[in-house]
Amino acid sequence: MADDKYSQRVRGKMASTGRSKKADRMRKMNSKETLRGEDHDYGAVFVEGPISVNATDLEVGENVELGSSKPWFQGRRVVELDVLARSMNCEKCSSWLRLSDIKDEVIYGMASFLYISCRSSACQHISLVPTGKKSNGKGFDINYKVCLAMINAGMGPSHVNNFLTGCNIPPVDASTLRKKQKELAPVIIEAAEASCKEAQREELECSECSELEGSFDAGWQKRGSGWSYNSHTGHASLIGINTGKVVEFDVRTRNCSICQYYIGKNEPKPPHECNVNWTGSSKGMEPDMACSMIQRLAEDGYTVGTLHADNDATTQSRLPRSIIKKR
């Protein structure tokens, strides 16, 4: 029974089929010659004769053996120097550890644990050295940072991995990035809402009258032609005319992967955090978002006096009569 689901071991622990498949995939990706092999020397300056690297060049102790085929020695890593510098002592006898004594490396996304053996012949204890900070009980910070950076740059997991492999840095599994994205979503939404509240105050302070003036526009994730709009998600923002800051935003989603999965299997949906907040047409999202944004602003005590929007009859017709519409 349990043997079917947990058939393989990953890092010494019994793992589900999905987890072990992921581990296999990562192992395969990391072992690829093109990924973890020798770097191409684009832009390298040709120097005649052998190059010797010694302690003064690298600051890692004595002579470092170059050309080793050990996996930890290949490619690049993103390392927090401060964390690494402070962890380079033996856990048992606290003598200095050397990077050249790394015995093994276990990679967690973009960070890793280095297994470094003690140089003292009497001790030889193997210490676990992290390459970055870990926030209380959670994973390595860098894995959250890379997810935030991905969102900020408007990329997806495959773009991130294309970039990382191009730099010869071990790639991060797409599912790890998606998991972090889910964890970060509420934090990002909270920050966005706080920023909007602050912008509303600022906008009113800069305004000559007691009403707000702003520019509104909506967009869809999927391109719509003049007569066909069928995107499953739409977003809108209202930008203050004085500050140029976003004072309100909204999102409409009419698709949920969990709902779709159970509908497809013709089974009842289990209770889940459903994102669906729209059932109408994609084009209908725009006026609805405009109305709910103006309503939310009104609830917070802000009146929108003038709204600049595109020449969209549906949006114009649904806005309250008191608003002056400009385009």
CB of 285 to Zn ion, least distance (A): 18
Cβ proximity to Zn ion: between 49 and 271 the closer is: 271
Cβ proximity to Zn ion: between 215 and 275 the closer is: 275
| Alpha helices, DSSP H, located in 15-169 | 17-31, 33-36, 55-58, 81-87, 141-152, 157-166
CB of 124 to Zn ion, least distance (A): 7
- Select from 72-80, 133-141, 165-173, 250-258 the region that touches Zn ion (CB under 5 A): 250-258
**301 phi and psi, to 5 degrees?**
90, 20
Cβ proximity to Zn ion: between 91 and 217 the closer is: 91
Length of the chain: 327
As a whole number of angstroms, the distance between CA 238 and CA 307 comes to 9
Report if residue 182 touches Zn ion, rule: CB under 5 A: no
Cβ proximity to Zn ion: between 125 and 318 the closer is: 125
CB of 275 to Zn ion, least distance (A): 6
CB of 259 to Zn ion, least distance (A): 3
> Contacting Zn ion (CB under 5 A), which of 23, 64, 258, 291?
258
CB of 125 to Zn ion, least distance (A): 5
Tokens of 198: 């602050």
Q: Where are the beta strands (DSSP E) in 109-210?
A: 111-117, 126-130
Report if residue 167 touches Zn ion, rule: CB under 5 A: no
Report if residue 88 touches Zn ion, rule: CB under 5 A: no
- Select from 67-75, 80-88, 200-208, 248-256 the region that touches Zn ion (CB under 5 A): 248-256
Decide: 311 and 327 in contact? Cβ < 8 Å.
yes
Give the residues across from 140 on adjacent strands: 134
Question: Using CB atoms within 10 A of its CB, is residue 56 exposed (0-12), middle (13-18) or buried (19+)?
Answer: exposed
Number of residues this chain uses to bind Zn ion (CB under 5 A): 10
> Contacting Zn ion (CB under 5 A), which of 177, 247, 256, 319?
256
Please work out, in degrees rounded to the nearest 5, the angle formed at the alpha carbon of residue 70 by the alpha carbons of 132 and 147: 30
**289 phi and psi, to 5 degrees?**
-65, -40
CB of 232 to Zn ion, least distance (A): 12
Report if residue 274 touches Zn ion, rule: CB under 5 A: yes
Cβ proximity to Zn ion: between 124 and 162 the closer is: 124
Report if residue 323 touches Zn ion, rule: CB under 5 A: no
Report if residue 93 touches Zn ion, rule: CB under 5 A: yes
Binding-residue pattern over the window 107 to 126 for Zn ion, x denoting contact by CB under 5 A: -----------x----x-x-
CB of 129 to Zn ion, least distance (A): 13
As a whole number of angstroms, the distance between CA 96 and CA 117 comes to 10
As a whole number of angstroms, the distance between CA 205 and CA 16 comes to 57
The residue type found at 319 is L
Binding to Zn ion (CB under 5 A) within 123-142 occurs at: 123, 125
Cβ proximity to Zn ion: between 181 and 195 the closer is: 181
As a whole number of angstroms, the distance between CA 35 and CA 164 comes to 10
Tokens of 140: 């390595």
Decide: 125 and 92 in contact? Cβ < 8 Å.
yes
Which residues make up the interface to Zn ion (CB under 5 A)? Answer: 90, 92-93, 118, 123, 125, 256, 258-259, 274
